[in-house]
Amino acid sequence: MELLFLGTGAGMPSRLRNVTSIALNLQGARSGCWLFDCGEGTQHQMLHSPVKTAKIEKIFITHLHGDHIFGLPGLLTSRSMNSIKDPLTVYGPRGIRTFVETALSLSGSWLTFPLDIIELTAGEVLNDDHFRVTAYPLTHPVECYGYRIEEHDKPGPLDAGRLLADGIQPGHLFQQLKLGKTVTMEDGRIVDGRHYLGPSIPGLKLAIFGDTSPTPAALELAANVDVMVHEATLEVALEEKANGRGHSSTVQAATVAKEAGAKKLIVTHLSSRYLREDTERLVAECRAIFPDTEMAHDFAVFRF
């Protein structure tokens, strides 16, 4: 999988950063893409990236502040103008349906594809063949969620040597056995593939936070994840100001990563006050607490 940051700024666009949107390219699991938030100008950012509108399967909205949703109606209508027929699901807090449907209705827009809008509460959002997604409530002036994405464990390697030793020859059923399924051989033997698999391979775990000040749900949301994405709107010297507006500082983001046992932290959602020359200072504040920290910039890609 990989994360591509289409926008990494807070509140409003700047010359350095557009407002929030993150693309999760599923790659190995399947060919689709998930979008997390869709701030103003997200589709413009996509034009300068490998992210294709047709590949987006799901859009997860963390909350209804404009810098996280104002790009959504435009992206949906552009998807229709490209005659895309594949269904799309939008997840978000209460009110996301009214926002989307009102924008489309008042603008006389139409869609060429089935659109499913799911207004969520805390808890499991989806659980399919590849992933489980859970929403956790955060602390912000409006209803806001973070998403934990857990890839299901993969079957361990197939022990072909044992199969051959047991007189089971390679063939089209090997693929079924590798998936741990039970198959009937041509000679009538019933073989349980689970008996020929090595230890399962743990799936990847990600935590993508919406806007939040320090919150009780953070440690459960990010517990032992491979990658944690967290806002760091302001530097530690302005922590009180950040918290007063429902945001976190660099040090607070790093502290969550450390206490949750995350393997890697990516900070984003930076105030427009910060220029390129501020980057190292802000990252240093995080790394003093949690060394494996990176700062996202627009179009930055992280593979894992």
Where residue 235 falls among pLDDT bands split at 50, 70, 90? very high
The class (CATH top level) of 2-153+202-303 is alpha beta
Would you state the pLDDT for residue 28? Answer: 67
For residue 147, CA distances in Å to 13, 42, 62, 176 come to: 24, 20, 8, 32
Of 67, 86, 187, 211, the catalytic one is 67
Look at residues 287, 249, 286, 254 and name the one whose alpha carbon lies nearest to residue 271.
Answer: 249
* 189 or 171, which is more confident: 189
The residue to which tokens 């996280």 are assigned: 68
Distance separating alpha carbons of residues 265 and 262, to the nearest angstrom: 7
Where residue 168 falls among pLDDT bands split at 50, 70, 90? confident
The residue to which tokens 């930076």 are assigned: 270
Q: Is the pLDDT of residue 288 over 80?
A: yes
Domain spans of the chain, in order of start = 2-153+202-303, 160-196
- pLDDT tens-place string over residues 102-155: 999 999 999 999 999 999 999 999 999 899 999 999 999 999 999 999 999 887
DSSP character at residue 152: P
Element (H, E) at 23: strand 21-25
Look at residues 73, 81, 78, 62 and name the one whose alpha carbon lies nearest to residue 102.
Answer: 73
Would you state the pLDDT for residue 208? Answer: 98
Q: Is the pLDDT of residue 213 over 70?
A: yes
Q: Is the pLDDT of residue 234 over 90?
A: yes
Determine which of 26-30, 97-101, 116-120, 147-151 has the lowest per-residue pLDDT on average. Answer: 26-30
- Give the pair of three-digit tokens for residue 94: 């209460």
> For the whole prediction, is pTM greater than 0.85?
yes
- 292 labelled catalytic: no
Look at residues 137, 133, 98 and name the one whose alpha carbon lies nearest to residue 218.
Answer: 137
Look at residues 168, 166, 195 and name the one whose alpha carbon lies nearest to residue 182.
Answer: 195
Taking residues 279-297, report their average pLDDT: 97
Amino acid in position 47? L
Q: Is the pLDDT of residue 6 over 90?
A: yes
